[in-house]
């Protein structure tokens, strides 16, 4: 090693670290994917649920680590995402070095608004490079940008890039490795009192902002924001060495408040005026270019055609998650089952084999089976998002969803919830507001997912088989019940735990574009892997615990009888069977006996297990299906000790109501924990819905009995 | 000055005033609703809300609740 250093050959150098910053919807994600290789690290920023995505880029002159920051509109952060972007840009992220270079991504087709955030970043004096992205799209819309002039005006290098083709990658890498440039602060024409305040404070805050000129540039917008100036005042009030700065800062705030000018508007106006000057010099518009986006919008945002397109899109999406994914799910399910049987076979007969097959391998299957749905849903969502349509769908549906206190963005995740709550919860990641996202995730389990269908089928088959219509009406009522309770729950949450009005909607409708295959594929892969690696291990452990509870203690096996009867005896004597019997007095007012109790207990792993569990209990076999005549007969003929039938139509309805409301799915709970960052939400929601389910079933059965059903 | 919500589809005007809670007002001006900026109402979503506007070369969807905070000078649009 020493010899190597002496020879002066290759002293391993730390890779350059760059951050990609820009507005949302500027094609930042495609550019990130074009720059970096397949290997990437996805974590959460400490103490937040904001995703941190880091990828590595190998270029001719060295290696570069690229951090893809959340899209932001301003350095004055107004959401956890924007706070993360701000802290990274300013190098204030705890336990991390500041990025060596900030790559500011500009959407060439929407330059003016993009330059607002961009010039804020340039004003900080951090080394920057500008990536002028999607210039081809802007060109089609008749926008001609003089890159050299833009670079001269901004004071940093401007590299035209294209995330789709990878164009500009090498030039951008070269600029990054050259270290970027620090731009001079943009001169702003501010009202006199504001200029004076900034000038008076700058000497005292030079250290905080990295120079007097930087302080002068940053202060007007901070003084214009109540939150940002309160934050800075609080920061200054802490250290004794800032006492002077703090006093003066408070004095200037008071003076400005009395000066009768709208500081926020003045600061923003001055910045846009400066941007207009830059645009006037560097951008020309060609008249007569065909604006395809506007033409498309005339159809897709039309009241009639737009609604039809929306309906068609969502019907297709629903089919993808609900139907198209089922062959894949069956494939995974079958493969896991076969593998389990094979692996169990290696251990011969007995407990070890059962553990491998029904505990360990089944535990892997319990989360792997969701992967196809998640992947398929995200292929669609990412493609729609990248095309610019998802923002428009959110716009069209905003009012409708507003009636239940949710933004338009919540529609697609909730719709996915009818197939499976897990991809639905993951789809809420497209929602920027944390509170809206929490409400959406909290009501997600009330959407009747596909795992409830076998339960519905077995109940309808057992007690409503006399008429197709009764069964259909019953099942549809269950879907509606879930929606109704979701609407109620959402408004209750809005008034209690997640209090506060609706968050303002200021949604940008990005230009249309053809979705990038690479971006869609990589983002889908990232989401799917995040679920498998994040939620998988916990689900595996829970599955094994539930297996143990339904297996031990192993008694009642010695009696003679066929295999199915032995299994039934095993389950009856297991901890779970005993718990079912113990709970029978509590379940009786709902119309359930201990056998249904065991089915419900087993369902807390996953609702899918209800029918197989009943199969075991009724000694029909664990491979029983909902349409199994033997199983249905056993259920119909089951009697209470006094001879009354257990499974009356009323018991059936009561059971269905329970399954609609109860959150019996540990994968959902584990996903909710992952998405919210703590066990508080999943545990709270679990018990709230359990109480609701119990109460609703109790009422159903008691009122129904009283009415003579 | 009439609020942005009063403008019919296709109408243009210039921003005259922005009111409302500090947080909302600050975000509105940052997105470009600064006094004098040209605004064009492009359309409305189902049930008439939100409103789609063209502002500084980009399209924005704004809810009525927020759009009422933006006062518009319709006469100044031609200037």
Q: Which residues of A touch B43 (CB under 8 A)?
A: 297, 301
Q: How confident is the model at residue A557 (pLDDT cuts 50, 70, 90)?
A: low
Residue A220 forms contact with B (CB below 8 Å): no
Helices (H), A141-262: 147-154, 169-177, 192-209, 212-224, 226-238, 243-259
% of chain A exceeding 90 in pLDDT: 34
User: pLDDT tens digits, residue range A476-493?
Assistant: 899 999 999 999 999 888
Shortest CA gap A226–chain B (Å): 7
Whole-prediction pTM value?
Answer: 0.82
Q: Provide ipTM, 2 decimals.
A: 0.94
Q: Nearest residue of A to residue B69 by CA position? A: A504
**What's residue A3's pLDDT?**
44
Find how far residue A567's CA is from the centre of its chain: 41
**What's residue A170's pLDDT?**
92
Number of H helices, E strands in chain A: 33, 10
Interchain contact, A272 vs B56, CB within 8 Å: yes
Interchain contact, A110 vs B58, CB within 8 Å: yes
Shortest CA gap B47–chain A (Å): 7
Contact criterion met (CB below 8 Å) for A460 and A475? yes
Q: What is the spatial distance between Cα A576 and Cα A550, in angstroms, rounded to a whole number?
A: 5
Q: Provide the edge-to-edge strand list for the sheet that holds B38-44.
A: A506-509, B58-62, B51-55, B38-44, B12-18, B70-73
User: pLDDT tens digits, residue range A613-649?
Assistant: 888 888 776 677 777 778 888 888 888 888 888 888 9
Residue B28 forms contact with A (CB below 8 Å): yes
Contact criterion met (CB below 8 Å) for A363 and A369? no
Q: What is the spatial distance between Cα A49 and Cα A431, in angstroms, rounded to a whole number?
A: 12
Give the CA-trace dihedral at A190, A191, A192, A196, to 10 degrees: -50
Q: Nearest residue of A to residue B58 by CA position? A: A110
Shortest CA gap A275–chain B (Å): 11
Q: Which residues of A touch B55 (CB under 8 A)?
A: 113
**What's residue B79's pLDDT?**
56
Interchain contact, B46 vs A400, CB within 8 Å: yes
User: pLDDT tens digits, residue range A257-287?
Assistant: 888 888 999 999 999 999 999 999 999 988 7
User: DSSP characters for A503-528?
Assistant: PP-EEEEPPP-PPPHHHHHHHHHHHH
Interchain contact, A506 vs B61, CB within 8 Å: yes
Q: What is the spatial distance between Cα B36 and Cα A276, in angstroms, rounded to a whole number?
A: 13
Q: What is the spatial distance between Cα A180 and Cα A174, in angstroms, rounded to a whole number?
A: 9
Q: Which residues of A touch B28 (CB under 8 A)?
A: 506
């Amino acid at each position: 090693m020493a010899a190597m250093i002496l020879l002066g050959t290759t002293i391993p150098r730390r890779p350059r670290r760059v951050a990609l910053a820009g507005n949302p919807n500027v094609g930042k994600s495609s550019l990130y994917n074009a720059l970096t290789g397949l290997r990437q690290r996805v974590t959460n920023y400490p103490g937040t649920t904001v995703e941190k995505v880091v990828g590595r880029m190998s270029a001719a002159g060295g290696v570069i680590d690229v951090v893809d920051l959340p899209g932001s509109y301003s350095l004055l952060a107004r959401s956890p995402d924007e706070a993360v972007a701000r802290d990274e840009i300013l190098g204030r992220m705890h336990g991390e070095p500041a990025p060596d270079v900030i790559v500011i991504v500009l959407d060439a087709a929407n330059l003016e608004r993009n330059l607002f955030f961009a010039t804020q970043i340039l004003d900080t004096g951090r080394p920057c490079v500008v990536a002028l992205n999607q210039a081809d799209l802007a060109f089609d819309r008749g926008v001609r940008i003089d890159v050299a002039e833009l670079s001269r005006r901004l004071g940093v290098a401007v590299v035209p890039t294209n995330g789709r083709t990878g164009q500009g990658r090498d030039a951008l890498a070269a600029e990054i490795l050259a270290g970027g440039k620090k731009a001079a602060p943009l001169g702003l024409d501010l009202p006199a009192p504001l200029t004076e305040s900034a000038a008076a404070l700058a000497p005292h805050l030079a250290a905080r902002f990295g120079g007097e000129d930087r302080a002068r540039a940053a202060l007007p917008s901070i003084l214009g924001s109540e939150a940002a100036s309160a934050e800075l005042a609080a920061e200054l009030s802490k250290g004794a060495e800032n006492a002077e700065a703090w006093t003066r800062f408070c004095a200037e705030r008071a003076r400005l408040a009395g000066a009768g000018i709208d500081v926020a508007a003045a600061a923003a106006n001055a910045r846009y005026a400066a941007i207009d000057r830059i645009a006037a010099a560097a951008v020309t518009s060609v008249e007569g270019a065909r604006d395809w986006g506007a033409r498309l919008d005339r159809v897709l945002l039309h009241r009639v055609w737009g609604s039809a397109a929306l309906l068609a899109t969502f019907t297709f999406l629903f089919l993808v998650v609900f139907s198209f994914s089922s062959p894949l799910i069956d494939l995974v399910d079958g493969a896991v089952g076969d593998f389990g049987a094979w692996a169990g076979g290696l251990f011969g007969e007995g407990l070890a084999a059962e553990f491998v097959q029904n505990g360990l391998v089944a535990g892997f299957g319990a989360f792997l089976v969701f992967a196809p749905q998640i992947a398929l849903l995200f292929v669609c969502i990412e493609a729609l998002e990248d095309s610019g349509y998802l923002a428009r769908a959110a716009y069209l549906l905003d009012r409708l969803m507003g009636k239940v206190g949710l933004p338009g963005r919540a529609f697609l995740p909730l719709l996915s919830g009818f197939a499976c709550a897990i991809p639905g919860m993951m789809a809420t990641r497209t929602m920027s507001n944390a509170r809206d996202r929490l409400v959406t995730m909290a009501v997600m389990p009330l959407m009747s997912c596909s795992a409830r269908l076998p339960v519905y089928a077995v109940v309808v088959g057992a007690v409503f088989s006399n008429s197709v219509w009764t069964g259909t009406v019953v099942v549809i009522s269950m879907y509606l019940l879930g929606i109704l309770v979701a609407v109620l729950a959402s408004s209750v949450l809005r008034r209690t735990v997640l209090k506060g009005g609706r968050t303002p909607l200021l949604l940008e409708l990005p230009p249309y574009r053809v979705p990038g295959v690479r971006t869609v594929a990589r983002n889908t892969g990232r989401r799917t892997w995040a679920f498998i690696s994040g939620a998988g291990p916990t689900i595996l452990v829970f599955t094994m615990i539930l297996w143990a509870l339904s297996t031990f203690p192993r008694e009642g096996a010695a009696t003679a009888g066929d295999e199915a009867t032995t299994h039934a005896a095993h389950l009856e004597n297991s901890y779970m069977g005993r718990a079912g019997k113990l709970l029978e007095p509590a379940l009786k007012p709902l119309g359930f006996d201990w056998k249904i109790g065991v089915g419900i207990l087993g369902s807390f792993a996953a609702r899918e297990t209800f029918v197989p569990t009943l199969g075991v209990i009724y000694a029909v076999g664990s491979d029983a299906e909902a349409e199994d005549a033997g199983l249905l007969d056993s259920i119909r003929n089951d009697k209470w000790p006094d001879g009354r039938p257990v499974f009356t139509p009323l018991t059936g309805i009561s059971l269905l109501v329970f399954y609609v409301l109860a959150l019996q799915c540990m994968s959902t709970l584990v996903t909710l924990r992952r998405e919210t960052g703590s066990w508080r939400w999943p545990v709270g929601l679990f018990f709230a819905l359990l109480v609701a389910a119990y109460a609703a079933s109790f009422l159903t059965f008691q009122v129904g009995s009283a009415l003579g059903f | 000055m009439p609020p942005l919500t009063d403008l019919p589809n296709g109408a243009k005007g210039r921003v005259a005033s922005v009111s409302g809670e500090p947080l909302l007002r600050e975000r509105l001006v940052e997105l470009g609703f600064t006094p004098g900026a040209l605004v064009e109402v492009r359309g409305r979503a189902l049930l008439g809300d939100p409103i789609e506007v063209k502002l500084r070369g980009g399209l924005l969807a704004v809810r009525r609740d927020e759009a009422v905070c933006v006062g518009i000078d319709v006469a100044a649009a031609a200037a």
